[in-house]
Amino acid sequence: MSSQKQFIEESVNSLSEKTRQIARKIWEYAELSYTEVFSSAELIKAFEQEGFEIESDIADIPTAFKAVYTVGTGKISCGILGEYDALDGLSQKAACSSREAIIPGGAGHGCGHNLLGAGSFAAAVSIARYIKENNISARVVYFGCPAEEGAGSKQFIARAGYFDGIDFVYTWHPATMNEVQSKGSVAIMGANFTFEGTAAHAGGSPHLGRSALDACELMNVGVNYLREHMLDTARVHYAYSDAGGTAPNVVQDHAVIKYEVRAPKVKNMQELFARVVNIAKGAALMTETAMNYEVTMAFSDYLPNKTLAVIADRALKEIGAPCWEESDYAFAAEMLRTYSKSTLKDIKERLGEIFPPEGLDELMAKPLDSVIHPFNMNEKTYESGSTDVGDVGYATPAVNINIATACLGNVGHSWQNTAFSNSETGMKGMLTAAKVMALSAIYTLEDPDAIQRAKQELKLKNGGKYICPLPDYVSPPIGKY
């Protein structure tokens, strides 16, 4: 065992109970995007107890913060990302294999961000202890990042320059498999489209009305025809936020529809979004209504920094998968059985593409990942989801690590995920992630050549400068998203 690994394992183990308490409390708070007042305060208090300096309200976001620990002149700066926002409608009892909401319709940690924020805390503190013990001139910066499930915060933090001077960043995400993420994630942009028309009696004088709701409907029709003529990997989503009222005998003079577009690269996403805007203009022209739109969110695409990924892959292999016990396997199997037969069939087929087919039945009976999946240097594909971590990866070298905290095949953003996020299974994955991130950061801090290679790789990707995909006029939509 390397001295670095031994130090990190001992440090994270000593922080185990404190980290679990933080994760449980954030899970109980279950605060939605930009409202994570108690969750961020819980983390800030924990960092202050460990001697970190706190800067609150960064990038004009009240629940965003950074916690900094510096040794010497802080010559090298390591960043660690933390998240702590929950999802609406996913309230669920902890470690419970039947659907039982604590608050019907309430929020829950269906993406495991309570584990993410707490695990990153343990990693940052362990890195701080290591650089202090070894008198390494460096600083570790934990970025408290709200609202990843909403309009995001990291792109606002990056735009405000908080990642300037950060040499590299590691983060992680609760998952079903243990791997340094090889695949990218796509860019996204969202906007509210508002149509203004003229109200009239729909029966008595319909010819005098100009329907804003009709404009929204025609916009949807136009976008549906667009779908055939865009990249296969692109996506367009929509939802009404204001349908103009509930009276069918009144021509709706006001309506708002929310659109989001996704594409593999920022450039692709911006081009597709411009086409959606043109369709909205056409819908307004056809209905003689007025249209305006306001961009509410945008994330850059995520691509792992391969230089850092190789280091993280080494650290992950050295730390190993979480040490599951029979109770973990039994709980995971119970949770897997909560899915329908058709979903289970799909899960088994997908697992058959990753694991040896002859072991699938045993895997479905004990569905927790106990192996390390190697980083694929040649991976070119993208996941269809999006994350504001992409903007961090355009501002400084960054990489994401996935660690199993739920059963194989588990569906994200589900009540099952909320249950796993406050279970012994989830906690074990969280502590494993803390060790992997901390060890990765230490190996990087001690390898200046690797840091320079990571920066050169970044320069090839961003041209030497981070450009935020958000228009300058867009501020964090606190209370609006």
Q: What is the pLDDT of residue 479?
A: 83
Q: What is the dihedral of CA 461, 397, 183, 172, to 10 degrees?
A: -160
Pairing of strands 398-404, 179-180: antiparallel
Q: What is the pLDDT of residue 481?
A: 66
What is the residue type of 258?
Answer: K
Class of domain 187-299: alpha beta
User: DSSP letter string over 147-160?
Assistant: -TTTT-SHHHHHHT
Mean pLDDT value across the chain: 96
**H or E segment and range at residue 68:** strand 65-71
Over the stretch 199-253, which tens digit does the pLDDT of each residue have?
999 999 999 999 999 999 999 999 999 999 999 999 999 999 999 999 999 999 9
Q: Which band of pLDDT confidence, cut at 50, 70 and 90, is reported for residue 2?
A: confident
Over the stretch 279-325, which tens digit does the pLDDT of each residue have?
999 999 999 999 999 999 999 999 999 999 999 999 999 999 999 99
Report the range of poorest mean pLDDT among 250-254, 332-336, 380-384.
380-384
Q: What is the pLDDT of residue 380?
A: 87
Q: What is the mean pLDDT of residues 329-342?
A: 96
CA distance 153 to 470: 12
What is the residue type of 75?
Answer: K
Q: Which band of pLDDT confidence, cut at 50, 70 and 90, is reported for residue 1?
A: low
The Cα-based distances of 89 to 63, 186, 335, 415 in angstroms read 21, 25, 19, 9
295: nearest Cα among 270, 267, 331: 270
Are both 3-185+301-462 and 187-299 of the same fold? no
CA distance 402 to 375: 11
Q: What is the mean pLDDT of residues 418-441?
A: 98
Instruction: Identify whether the C-beta of residue 14 lies closer than 8 Å to the C-beta of residue 434.
Output: no
| Burial bucket for residue 75 (CB in 10 Å: 0-12, 13-18, 19+) | middle
CA distance 444 to 440: 6
- CA angle, residues 155, 84, 240, in degrees to nearest 5: 65
Over the stretch 82-133, which tens digit does the pLDDT of each residue have?
999 999 999 999 999 999 999 999 999 999 999 999 999 999 999 999 999 9
| Other CB atoms within 10 Å distance of the CB of residue 56 | 15
DSSP state of 193: E
Q: What is the pLDDT of residue 260?
A: 96
Record: fold of 3-185+301-462: Aminopeptidase (3.40.630)
Per-residue b or e along 289-314, where b marks 16 or more CB atoms closer than 10 Å to that residue's CB: bebebebbbbbbbbbbbbbbbbbbbb
CA distance 85 to 114: 7
Judged against a pLDDT cut of 80, whether residue 480 lies above it is answered with no
Q: What is the mean pLDDT of residues 419-439?
A: 98
Judged against a pLDDT cut of 90, whether residue 5 lies above it is answered with yes
The Cα-based distances of 380 to 114, 181, 244, 302, 305 in angstroms read 30, 12, 44, 12, 13
Tell me the domain boundaries of the chain.
3-185+301-462, 187-299
81: nearest Cα among 162, 142, 40: 142
Q: Which band of pLDDT confidence, cut at 50, 70 and 90, is reported for residue 52?
A: very high
CA distance 434 to 125: 10
